[in-house]
Homo-oligomer: A and B are copies of this chain.
Amino acid sequence: MGRNKLVMKKIEDPISRQQFYSKRKDTILKKSNELAVLCDTDVALLMFSPAGQVTIYSSKESVEDIMVRAMNKSVNQRLILNPNEQLLMQSLTQSKSEGQMAHGKKLNELKETLREAQQKIRYYKPQVENISSVQEADAYAQFLRSNMEQIQQSKAKLLGVQGFLQRNEYPAVNTEDTAAAGTSRGWKF
A68 to B: closest C-beta gap in Å: 10
A143 is an interface residue with CB less than 8 A from chain B:
no
Q: How many copies of this chain are found per oligomer?
A: 2
Q: For A103, what are the chain B residues with a Cβ–Cβ distance below 8 Å?
A: none
Give the contacts of A1-60 with B (CB-CB under 8 A): 6, 8-11, 17, 20-21, 24-50, 52-56, 59
Q: For A42, what are the chain B residues with a Cβ–Cβ distance below 8 Å?
A: 46-48
Chain A interface, >50% SS class: helix
28 pairs, CB–CB < 8 Å, chain A vs chain B: A6-B38, A10-B39, A11-B39, A20-B39, A21-B39, A24-B31, A24-B34, A24-B35, A24-B38, A24-B39, A27-B31, A31-B31, A32-B45, A33-B119, A36-B122, A39-B50, A40-B50, A43-B47, A53-B129, A54-B73, A55-B129, A56-B74, A56-B129, A63-B71, A63-B185, A64-B67, A64-B71, A67-B67
